Structure formats: C-alpha cells, structure tokens
Structure 1
Amino acid sequence: MTQFIDKKENGDIARWSFNEGEGGRTRDSVTGIWDPIEFALAQGRYQPPQTPRWAEGIGGQALLFDGYSTYIRRSASDIASPKDGLTISVWIAPGTYDLCADNRPSTIVNQHDREGAEGFLLGIGRHGAWTFQLGIDGIWTELWTDAADATAVVPLQTWSHLAAAYDGQAGKMKLFLNGEIVAARDVPKDSVLTPSQTDLLIGRNNQGALLAEAFIMNHFDGRMDELFISARAMSDAEIKGLYLEGVALCGGTVPELAPQDFILPREMFIRDRHRPQYHVTTPGHWMNEPHAPFYYEGRYHLFYQFNPKGPFFHYLHWGHSVSEDLVHWRDLPPALRPEPGIDPDGVWSGSATYDEEGQPALFYTTGNHSLKPNQQIGLARPRDGGKSDPDLIAWTKRSKPVLMLDQDEELLDEFRDPFVWRDQDRWVMLVGAGLKNRGGTALAYVSDDLENWTPCGPFYESDPSKYPFLGTAWELPVLLPLRDQGGNRTDKHVFVVSPWGPGAVADIRYWIGRYDSAHIRFVPDHEEPRLIDYGDFHFTGPSGMVDPKTGRSILFTIAQGERSPEIDYDSGWSHGAGMPVTLTLLDDSTLGVSPIEEIALLREETLLDVRNVTLEAANLLLDGIHGSMLEIELELQAAGRTAIALRRSPGGEEETVLYCDRDRSEIGVDRTRSTLDPKERTRGIQSGPLALGEQSLRLHVLLDRSLIEAYFNGRKCMTTRTYPSRLDADGLRLDASPGAVVERLTVRRMGGAYSYTEI
C-alpha cells in the first residue's frame, strides 16, 4: 500500500499514515511505536466489542474519529519535544464543526497546557476557522484563519491538506491550506517553544471543556490521514510539496466525498441489546425531539434534534429521515446545521408547512448566544423544490430570521419552537413563550407570504397559581384538529404544550377545545390540562401533522432514555422517537390515542394467537415465547388487579410490570425489579387514573428492546424504559385474579424500521 516516504533525518518526530485499515492500533513509522486507539464501543458494554472505524483516505486508508470517543494518546515520555521549529502536516475531512466550548478548538493534534503557556495545538474552531497555538517563551500565542474568508476555512466533508509551521529563528507562524498560505503572524525572533509534559493526543483536546461527567468537549469529528510532525520549520516550498505528494498518492485527484459518507453506520448498534430497532432513531449519537413531519411527493419526512458529535446534548443539527409508509425509514444527511450569521449556536426545534405552491417549508428556532433572547425564528426551503433531489436533502435558509421577539415588559426572554399551518388563505404560527408573572403561553402570528408576520397576542394562557406544573413558559406548542373514531371531522381541536421553567413538570399536557380562527385564539372545553401518557418523562417533545393521505392527526414524540452520561458514552447513542400516535375524539368527548395503523407493516411472525382461555393456560403458552422486539395485544376480563410482566427473567428476578387496578381506577408500570444493574436509573412505580367500568381491559403493547409503549383501551398510554442486566430477561407472564378470562392474546415478533447489514 502506498504511503509517504519516511525521512527520519531533519528532526522528524512522528508520522501516522493510518493505513492499517482495521483493528484498534496504528503505527508511527518514525519511532515504530504502535499506539492504541481509544474508542467507546471497544469496551463492549452492551454488545460485542468493536474496533474503531476506517475508510478510504489519501492513497490508502484513513481513521474515522467519531467526535467524542475516538482518539490516540502517546505518553509524553515517548514523544520528542520540538524547540525552535515545528511543522505539522495532515489531511482531514471534517464531518462537523464544533461550538468550541470555553473557546477551545476541536483538536487535530496537541500536547499543550494553555494556561501554563506550554506546548502546541492544531485544531478547528467554529464554522471552519482553524488555528495553530503555541507556548513561546512562556507566552501562549495563537494564529487563526479568518472565519469570514471562504478561501481560508476548512470545508466540511471534503478532503483538505492542513499544515502549520513555526520558525523560531525567523520569528514566524504560518498556516497553509492545500499548499497555500492562508494566515501568518510574527513572533519574537530567536524564540523557542516552551515544552509541555502532558501526553500527546490526536483527535482530542488534552484540556477539553467538561460538559457532563463522562463527556469531554473539543474532539475532532471526521476522517484523518497522513499526520506528520517535524521538529523543524519546513519552507513554504516543502509544505507545498507535502500537499502535492498527497495528491500524487491518490492518482492526481483527491477523492470526493458526499454528505452520505458521513452518516454514522447504524450497523454499529444493531447488537446493542437495549437499543430500539423498530422505532425511529438516529444513526447513532444524540437524538432529541422529532419534529417538522410532512408528506410530499410520495414520501414522509421527519426531522429531529441531532448532535453528530456524540451521544450528548450539544450543538444541535436537524437530523433527517424519510419513509414511504411512516414505519420503514431511511437515514439522510442532516438537513440543517449551525452556520455563521443566523444560527451560529444551534438549529433548534420547529415545524413544517406548505407554501403557496404546495412545496414544503421548514420553520425552526435559530440559536444565537450573542442575542437576548438567544432564539429567533428561521425559514428554510428545498434547494430545488425536489426536482433533482427527491429526498429533499439540500435546503436553503433565509439569510435573516422571519420573526423575533418584540421587546415587551410582559414577556420573558423565551421564544422558540414555531408551529405553522395553513388556515384558509393565510398561515398561522404559534411560538412557545412565557408571560411575566402569568405563566406559559403560545404567541400567535399570521402571515400572507410566510416571511412577514403580524402578532396576534397570546393564543391561550392558563392560571399558574392553579397549575404550577405548567411552569413559566411553554415549549413545542401543537394544534391539531380532531376527527371522531369513524374518521369524520369534528369542530374540536387538541392543543398540546410542553411546560418549561421553574416548577414545570415536563410531561406533555393538552386541552380539547375550539379553535377560534377569526381571533386566533383557543377556547378550551376544560380548564385543567390533561396528560396523554402516565410514564416517567418518556413521552415528551411533541410535534404533529395532519396526514394529507388519510386526514389523521398524528403526534410524534421523543422517548427519553433516562440513562447516565457514563452509560450513554459507552453505548454511543442516546434517546429515540416514540411510535407516532393517532389522536381522535372519543364518543364521550375525551381524547383517544393509539399507535398508527402502519405498525402492521412491521409484523414478521405471529408467535401466539389465542381466544377465551384461562390465565393458567395463557401462561403455559407464554412460557415458550421469548423476545425483546414484540407486539402484544391483550383483552382480559377480571376483577381487581391485572398485570403483564415484560422483559422477565425465568425466576422473575428482573421484570417490568404493566398493570391495571380496577378497584383503584388506576393504570401504571412497576419498575422496581426492572434491572439488577445499580448504574441504571429505571426505578419506581408510575401511574395515573383510568376507570374502565364494565369494559374488558384492552391492552396494546409495543416492546422494542428497552422501550415499552402501552395503550390502555385506546384512552391513555404508558411510555417507559427498561434495561435488564440479565440476557435471559426476555419472557412474558400474566397475573390476574382467580377466574380471569383471557378473551384474546396475540404476540407477534416485529421487524426493524431500517434496512442494513449486520456487522
């Protein structure tokens, strides 16, 4: 395999060509040292151990850095220290940029102590600006490229050659992009580097900012190849030669990369025994609420809050999935990412609508920490209307926000999560907000063109003295029309919010009522807000759509994962979406909730289907059924308490129990024995009221590894999580009072939502 020729003379310190292409070690050809590669999934905490990822590089292989856990550490005692000269040369293709927490760059290679003004660092800053930083004569010295100069910025998802040179005798620092100088500064002549005794790290800042327990910021994310460090200042011509040498290695043409090449392979997580497989998830890393669903040209599109840098909440993008049936999905590259100007600090939640030509438009919350509030409303449209891009991968943002919060003494500095819909010949937008001393609200706006919006005041507000759990502001407002169980239109809507702020209980709350289109107001039928789901903070982050194919009102949610940062780090993923649910108006004017009917397309095999059997007979049949990806439909008539244990070990040492207590008119989930792992957080009993009267219990359960969703008589749901430690915790068992009749029991094995090859 072709690689650079080693030149051990002239002070070469180290060279990693990354041509191994497999395994968990890489060789420095100057010293002959084999360096281990750190990688979270190598621990094999919940699935078999995996080695770091490799891919095509410059004339050979390249190492892929995942943005949070992949890095190489070389002991300070095993690396030479440069003095009056230093050159670093490397080929990189960044997957994403970084917020640069604490003003520390996402690091390519470093051995430094910024506060001690020691050592050196080469890294990438916000939005592609990049930097060479040195401790020179005890003074920390930084050279940066201009982020506004497009010719000097490191482009995303494209191979670039970066070089940095320090010449102490001449008093110069220089940066080269693809062989050309893009930044330079003078430093004292005849200066020397102040050595650092820290370890040398590749891909990780050795003084990265701490985010949360296990997560250290300022990692490199992307492909890296041909990293070379020399203890002398190479000339401009020599650095140009390094660039040309790399181009020659790949036959004179640098390999082209596409956004799809940077999608995490979800195959890495298929054997994780806790990761859901038939629900929407990110390819890997962090997922927050799904949002902006719409149907266009035969495809459903769903976006979601996504951090491509790792399984933690930070630097949010809009992930993107597409489906033809709402249950089988394909991963697409992120649709929106933070950019200089309108949304430098994050692309936060929003919604979708159709413009005057019937094309989709995305409304989203822009993150800009230099403003107060740090949230405005942005607009993005498909780059070509889907003509040459049927998956709508490419979107163009409006350069300026369409809406910002008016400075008003009555309003808090909270302004986010636009929800937009077409109302006859105009559009209406709701934005989550808060009123000082009056609690949460959604502010209403109208527009004739989607770009100019007129305020209409609060859409609805409640009394915080009566309902303090609604917090001081509302997030993610959603308004959907309700049809009856026969699919007929009614004059009712459901208004959904997520409480935020001091005192808030962040479960989805709703009111049923009338939408006053003339005044852009909501008039509820009941003052007290209600819960759809009684689980423990797992059914959250609402977004919704009216399906143009069927007229259904569909609600999408996030299914929170509830785990510690340490576990998320080791797993490589965090959170996932709940199954979309259809909302209807029941005969008694209450809300009906049920999973979308398309889940039938996920059914692979019927494991059990019986009618009118005793409890004992049903349990005998269940003894032979095991699995962690199941659909269960149960109809049972019994007095007192009825329960079904899921993810149950043979002796019941671990189990999660769904129950219905008729005497107390209560449904709930008992997780006191869900896991024997003391590091998992799934604990306690969650419950809520539901009176069944004389009706049989009708329970519909979706079990997807750690995710459990249970629907009780189409009226309430219970979303929860379970993380059993035992590999044999995959059984089922019923419990009920004597004389119980199992009127129906069906158990099906479910297939996955994504098509991919197991590694």
Structure 2
Amino acid sequence: MSDMQNPSQNTPYVEHRPAYHFLPPKGWMNDLNGLVHFRGEYHLFYQHNPEAAVPRNIVWGHAVSLNLVNWRHLPVALRPDQPYDKDGVWTGCMVDDGGTPTAVYTGVHTEVQCIATSKDMVRWTKAPENPVIAAPPPGVEVTGFRDPYVWRSRDWWYAVVGSGIKDVGGTIFLYRSRDLRRWEYLEPALVGKKEETGEMWECPNLFQLGRKWVLWTSPVPLGRVIYFVGTFRKHQFQPEYRGEMDLGGCFYAPQGFRDARGRRILFGWLWETRSEPMSAEAGWAGVQSLPRWATLGRDNRLLFEPVPELRRLRRGAVSLTARTLRSGEEVALQELSGDRWELQVEIHPQDAARCGVRLYHVADEGQMTAVFFSQAEQKLVVDRTHSSRYEEVTRDVRSAPFSLKEKEPLRLRLFVDRSVLEVYANGHTCLTSRIYPQGAGGYQPRLFAEEGSALATRIEGWTLDAIW
C-alpha cells in the first residue's frame, strides 16, 4: 500500500483526505470511465493523472471490488499511445461483448470514439479498426463530441455520444452497430435548448429503468447534473419529467451500471473546491461519491439511496431518544465526534422556520457547516459560509427545492468523510459538498431549530471504518 493511501500526519492537508470514499493513491481523478459488474467483481475505471494533482496526461485508472465498498487498485488500463488518442484517453464506458470486456472511449487528437478489449480485465488491446466513429455527423457544427455510452438491445448495440449543436444546445447523437466496430449514425435522440440546458452535454447515460427511460447528462457550462425521465421509441427520446441529481455544488459526470442483482448503481465525481495550490501541495485531487442506488418514483422522479453494502463500515452505534428542538437550543451527539461518521435523523418541523443539523469542528467551533430544511423557503440547504478559516476554499450556500407532504417528517442521512459531506433527504434529494476546516479532529453534529420548535423522533449515528 502506498504512503499516500495511508499518509502520515505530516502530509499536507492530511485531515482533508477521505477515508471511506474511493480515490487513487495520489494524483488527479475526475470522471468515471467504465463501471461494470463482471464475473462477480465490480470494476471501476476513471480519468486519472498518477503523476500530479492536475488534469493533464490523462490515463484510465482501474480498481476492483467484491462489495462496492472495499477497493483494490489495479494497473493503469489505457494510456494515450496511438495517433488517434495521443492527446488523451477520455471518458467512455464498459460493456460485456459476449464474455469479452470492451471499453468504449473518446480518443483525443480530434475527438473520436474508440474501443479496446481484454481477456483478463488487466491487459488491454486497442482495436485495429480505431477510431470506430471517426467524426461527428456530417453537416452539423458541434460544440464537442465525446463520452460514448453503449448498451445492447436484441441484435444491436446502440450508443449515444455527448455533443452540442452550435447556437442550439446540448444534444446526444444516436448510433447503432452489430459488432461495436462499424457504426451507423441514426439521428439526434434529443436536442436541448442552450439557454435552459447548456450548450454541450457531457457524460450522457441513457437506459431503461422500470417502465420508463432515463437520460442524465452534465451540461457545459452549467456545472451540474440534470436528468430526464420519459420514453424512447423510434430512436427518439421524449422527456416527460426533468430533475436535478445533486445541487450541492461538487457532484458531476456520474456514470451508472446495472449489476447482477438488477440494481442501477451510480457513482459521481466529487471535485475539489479548494485552490489548485492546496491540491498540488496535498498531492491529490478528486474523489468518487458513495455508490448510489437509483430507482424510479411514482411521480417519475429519480430516487437515490446509498447502497446497503455501506452498512458494513458501521461501528459504535449512538442514539438518542425523541427530543423537542427549541429555538436557540442545540441537541448534541457527544459520542459521534470525529471525521468519519454517518447520521440518520427524522425531524417533524412543526412550526420551526428552519430545522436540521450543524456540524461544528471539534477544535474550533467557529468553523461550522449547517444542513437544514427551510420551511419558509421550501428548500434543503447546505450552508458552508463558516465551514473553514482557509481563504483558498469555497464557502457558500447551496440549496435544492424541497417540500414535505402533510405530516411527512424530514428524513436526513448525512455521511461525513473528512472533506466530503454527502446529504440524502427523503429518498429523492441529494446535496454533496466539500468542506475543508483548518485543523484535524473532525466534527460534532448538533440538531437545531430556529424561529419555532421541531420534534426529532429518530437520532441515530455510527462511526465508519476507513476502507484503506
């Protein structure tokens, strides 16, 4: 195991390095490239610069897991070593072609689509036919052409490639093939409006989920993830619902896959919101989110929950009986202090204007992050304006539209992993943020209500093990 994976206390900003989220031993990481459940193992490929914490000289990093929680690093899978990908082996996906693992990726000289195959998931051979899609559709001026997502339907392979039509908006171009090597362009499956959904759609995923089809994408320049739920017939995707996947300000470029149990599992890239010099000094940048299980709600909204496999990390349960939260008071979970924990609370807002959880740094209560429901504004909020004393980190307020039905409680599930804060609320709203307090020690959660009272009926937490 490398020194960076288990850094010493003298390593710069060691208190910010996550312990149970996936990240490489050192260097830069961004998009997931290929997620696949193959022969009983989960494989995770990702954009990676192993030499420095900057997005240059990108290769495909690779790790494997038996349970989605504990990961083992494997050798680099793909490098930019051919004329058609000499400037980068960029984002793509992974498919099982009749027992042959096949990576479909964007090669960069210009942006072209390529494939590589393996017999053992470790050594990879690029196809002699590369690039298999050598250019965007003719006669269209595009704003990008990358990040292929591939699936099989009966006798055909289908692919969507993220793109955009200049002055029109983001789009996904649809292709099909019998053999993954010779592709036929069909048509745009969906074209967005530039002013609403951005000018270029990165990292699209298009798949069937229950009775509907889902498309999610990361639009440039919006810097967040949107999704559509609708129908897909005759090569056209018709949206019926549009939503936001995570408005915490740090979640981007998710990729999903269907595992052997039929679950749609996704990870997303959590980027840093600290300065580049801080990342360079730390020696790493970029983390993957916890694995999320996506399902479809009755109202066509996507529902998200952390996969149950994460419970294996729990140690030392802490709980409190039901408590009334009064304005100006706080209820602390004394035994949950630290930098790696999970907290589940259920709060009935009653007449409180705001209620939720404050995370105080154990050595400096002036560093505090608040997660709360604003009943007055109908928002779920992460307030990190006081989360750090460092001037080089982002300290802002992020929120998502959020409402409760009559008598429905606020159900919060918080995961704290040093500089990562993942918030799940009522099964459908996620806010993921990065917080960089000055000094080690972690956080202590305290429940609160403002301008009225609320009732907390469930308060339960656990310390979580590191995975490295």
Name the TM-score, length of structure 1 as normaliser: 0.58
Match of 1:613 among 299, 312, 323: 323
* Secondary structure class of the residue paired with 1:282: coil
Q: How far apart are 1:751 and its partner, in Å?
A: 1.0
1:650 to 1:268, Cα distance in 2 relative to 1, 3 A: closer
Tell me the equivalent position of 2:89.
347
Letter in 1 for 2:288: A
Match of 2:212 among 489, 492, 508: 492
1:397 to 1:561, Cα distance in 2 relative to 1, 3 A: same
Q: Is the 8 A contact 1:302 1:320 kept in 2?
A: yes
Tell me the equivalent position of 1:309.
51
Q: Is the 8 A contact 1:305 1:349 kept in 2?
A: yes
Tell me the equivalent position of 1:376.
112
1:651 to 1:312, Cα distance in 2 relative to 1, 3 A: closer
Letter in 1 for 2:410: L
Tell me the equivalent position of 2:244.
531
Q: How far apart are 1:291 and its partner, in Å?
A: 2.6
Number of equivalences: 458
- Greater relative CO (CA pairs within 8 A, separation 6+): 2
Summarize the alignment of residues 122-161 of structure 1 with structure 2, pairs less than 5 Å apart. Answer: none
1:621 to 1:690, Cα distance in 2 relative to 1, 3 A: closer
Q: 1:282 aligned to 2:24?
A: yes
Match of 1:397 among 105, 126, 134: 126
Identity %: 33
Summarize the alignment of residues 39-118 of structure 1 with structure 2, pairs less than 5 Å apart. Answer: none
Q: 1:442 aligned to 2:153?
A: no
Deviations 1:136-169 (A, max 9, x none): xxxxxxxxxxxxxxxxxxxxxxxxxxxxxxxxxx
* Secondary structure class of the residue paired with 1:599: helix
In 1, the alpha carbon distance for the partners of 2:216 and 2:380 equals 22
Tell me the equivalent position of 1:4.
none
Name the TM-score, length of structure 2 as normaliser: 0.93
1:615 to 1:407, Cα distance in 2 relative to 1, 3 A: closer
Q: 1:633 aligned to 2:363?
A: no
Q: 1:414 aligned to 2:144?
A: yes
In 2, the alpha carbon distance for the partners of 1:401 and 1:416 equals 12
Q: How far apart are 1:650 and its partner, in Å?
A: 6.1
* Secondary structure class of the residue paired with 1:594: strand
Deviations 1:590-626 (A, max 9, x none): 22111112111221331x123423348x955513431
In 1, the alpha carbon distance for the partners of 2:364 and 2:6 equals 33
In 2, the alpha carbon distance for the partners of 1:576 and 1:460 equals 30
Tell me the equivalent position of 1:565.
276
Q: 1:546 aligned to 2:248?
A: no
Runs of 4+ in 1 over 6 A off after TM superposition: none
Q: How far apart are 1:342 and its partner, in Å?
A: 2.9
In 1, the alpha carbon distance for the partners of 2:279 and 2:212 equals 41
Match of 1:521 among 207, 211, 236: 236
Q: Is the 8 A contact 2:192 2:198 kept in 1?
A: no
Q: Is the 8 A contact 2:247 2:432 kept in 1?
A: yes
Is there any run of 5+ residues in structure 2 with no aligned partner, and where? none
Match of 2:384 among 671, 681, 694: 671
Q: How far apart are 1:360 and its partner, in Å?
A: 1.8
In 2, the alpha carbon distance for the partners of 1:579 and 1:625 equals 20
Match of 2:299 among 559, 584, 588: 588
Q: How far apart are 1:718 and its partner, in Å?
A: 0.3
Match of 1:471 among 192, 198, 202: 198
Q: Is the 8 A contact 1:411 1:433 kept in 2?
A: no
1:407 to 1:638, Cα distance in 2 relative to 1, 3 A: closer
Q: How far apart are 1:450 and its partner, in Å?
A: 1.0
Q: How far apart are 1:726 and its partner, in Å?
A: 3.4
Greater Cα radius of gyration, structure 1 or 2: 1
Is there any run of 5+ residues in structure 1 with no aligned partner, and where? 1-260, 369-373, 387-391, 483-489, 755-759
In 2, the alpha carbon distance for the partners of 1:574 and 1:298 equals 30
* Secondary structure class of the residue paired with 1:319: strand
1:746 to 1:708, Cα distance in 2 relative to 1, 3 A: same
Q: Is the 8 A contact 2:338 2:441 kept in 1?
A: no
Q: Is the 8 A contact 2:363 2:439 kept in 1?
A: no
In 1, the alpha carbon distance for the partners of 2:35 and 2:360 equals 32
Deviations 1:78-135 (A, max 9, x none): xxxxxxxxxxxxxxxxxxxxxxxxxxxxxxxxxxxxxxxxxxxxxxxxxxxxxxxxxx
* Secondary structure class of the residue paired with 1:601: helix
Letter in 2 for 1:563: R
1:575 to 1:269, Cα distance in 2 relative to 1, 3 A: farther
In 2, the alpha carbon distance for the partners of 1:728 and 1:320 equals 31
* Secondary structure class of the residue paired with 1:273: helix
Tell me the equivalent position of 1:322.
64
